[in-house]
Structure 1
């Protein structure tokens, strides 16, 4: 197994993930293939919708949309369509960074957890075949995938590969240079509602990036075996205020407290042009952990 030089990020000391956030890394990747139509859209308050050439309007699921119209429209409109129009937009394309472990060039064409038996799983807190879970605040994240070309209909049978760093900012595989060390990585197929749910931990914040998760979308579960088959790569963002509270309350995230205090979405070179389509909703749950959810769309 080839040894990757200096690819062992730590949240405290300056880590390889900061290199993943450097302009030279990210600008080589198309940042916003789906932003060309944003100029014609109203403000996107919807986490999973807005920003792509296959968009109409932004709607879907954000409780922060207060819609404060004061009813000045006395409305003698004769239109027969009384239902709410369902619309959505393509989620932005983002870099996979240097840690995808998906058989791509970024993974030295060698590290490929997608080829491992057992990588299809919902609980990603341990490495495949291990019962030892990484430390961190429990998080359940639900991702719903919809189709901009079919009135935001759910996309069943697509595969989502999700990966992210530990509470102290390390990515598996690269930290140990060992493909068997693959915690916080997993693949699932979307159900009839276009949905997958992963059981994981709240990701840490390493130097140079806002907290995030990576994901790749594949057209089928059978095709989710190598990066060459992916049809979308993007990232998910999380509410800063809530993460700051979580980090401050849990000693395992002490480095994340410092790192988060030194960056904002405006200075993050992935999210600096907006997070409307990539921002999850997140709240505490009754089990002592947290739940997050997001709807994202592709042109399928």
Structure 2
């Protein structure tokens, strides 16, 4: 059974119900974690309490704080003495690559750097703290010294409210926060975006798929790697203290990287080096060996 072909529940019209929809996707993801997940979960605790924690009620919002600039640099690099293939992760229930519903990859306009805006007939714009994401795709078999020029990356994530375009009620007609880039001679792809929310049950993250070529990416075929990028806690705390991220404060308070169902078995290769402030925005960089 494909780890990406699973159903999702539909929300019913307000923010708490949007969260229920996303939580449903998380529950559906649980059986897909066979490679690394279930042994760790069963060894540490029963699955039921973990699901209960992920479904904790989110009735009230934290008070909004002023968005005074706060500089920080945090995270870790995937390159170094240890050169291992980027961990494989579930694409989740909202990939938009045709494996579970909509396929944005075959639409004209998906190859772009700025993913804050919807394209085609859609016109929505994702609001939030600016974020520039740069992934460097390298050949693991060469000791991570050879950049994968010509590879392509499809990247997507939720918006400031925790909604996924194409899927979440209120964003089904949008396709923002999704895009494809071709790696340059240094193996780099860069996207202009916004800092994603922390929704119930998941640590703040970004999804991405690596393809061997731009043609493969836009044909939605021959995926080389599927993984997720994580953000450092200190940066998340700073961003979520700004207007619009109030619900993320509560959701993050219930989580740690160690308890997250994706990153709990190790996140060193997936924790982005993140720098910047809430005034000018942040940059997040990660090396992706494939």
TM-score (structure 2 length as normaliser): 0.77
Q: Deviations over 1:81-119 (max 9, x none)?
A: xxxxx6511000000000001010xx23xx100010000
Note if contact 1:172-1:181 (Cα within 8 Å) is conserved in structure 2: yes
- Which residue, 207, 211, 225 being the options, matches 2:204? 211
Q: Aligned in 2, Cα 1:17/1:195: closer, same or farther, shift over 3 Å?
A: same
Q: Aligned in 2, Cα 1:221/1:180: closer, same or farther, shift over 3 Å?
A: farther
Q: Does 1:246 align with 2:276?
A: no
The 2-side partners of 1:169 and 1:193 are apart by 33
Q: Aligned in 2, Cα 1:101/1:207: closer, same or farther, shift over 3 Å?
A: same
The 1-side partners of 2:93 and 2:218 are apart by 18
Q: Does 1:128 align with 2:132?
A: no
Q: 1:20-35 to 2 correspondence within 5 Å? A: 20-22=25-27, 24-32=28-36
- Which residue, 24, 37, 41 being the options, matches 1:19? 24
Q: Does 1:268 align with 2:272?
A: no
Gaps of 5+ in 1: 34-44, 50-58, 60-85
- 1:181 is matched with 174
The 2-side partners of 1:114 and 1:254 are apart by 32
- 1:159 is matched with 152
How much does 1:9 deviate?
10
- 1:195 is matched with 188
- 1:6 is matched with 10
The 2-side partners of 1:133 and 1:115 are apart by 21
The 1-side partners of 2:23 and 2:277 are apart by 31
Q: Deviations over 1:56-92 (max 9, x none)?
A: xxx1xxxxxxxxxxxxxxxxxxxxxxxxxx6511000
How much does 1:133 deviate?
2.1
Gaps of 5+ in 2: 1-6, 38-74
Q: 1:54-133 to 2 correspondence within 5 Å? A: 59=80, 88-104=83-99, 107-108=100-101, 111-129=102-120, 132-133=124-125
The 1-side partners of 2:11 and 2:83 are apart by 37
Q: Aligned in 2, Cα 1:10/1:123: closer, same or farther, shift over 3 Å?
A: farther
The 1-side partners of 2:176 and 2:126 are apart by 7
SS in 1 for 2:105: helix
Q: Does 1:295 align with 2:287?
A: yes
SS in 2 for 1:165: coil
Instruction: Return the structure number with greater helix share.
Output: 2
- 2:230 is matched with 237
SS in 2 for 1:16: helix
Runs of 4+ off more than 6 Å: 8-11
More divergent stretch after superposition (223-232 vs 211-220): 223-232
The 1-side partners of 2:110 and 2:11 are apart by 22
- Which residue, 213, 216, 224 being the options, matches 1:223? 216
Note if contact 1:32-1:92 (Cα within 8 Å) is conserved in structure 2: no
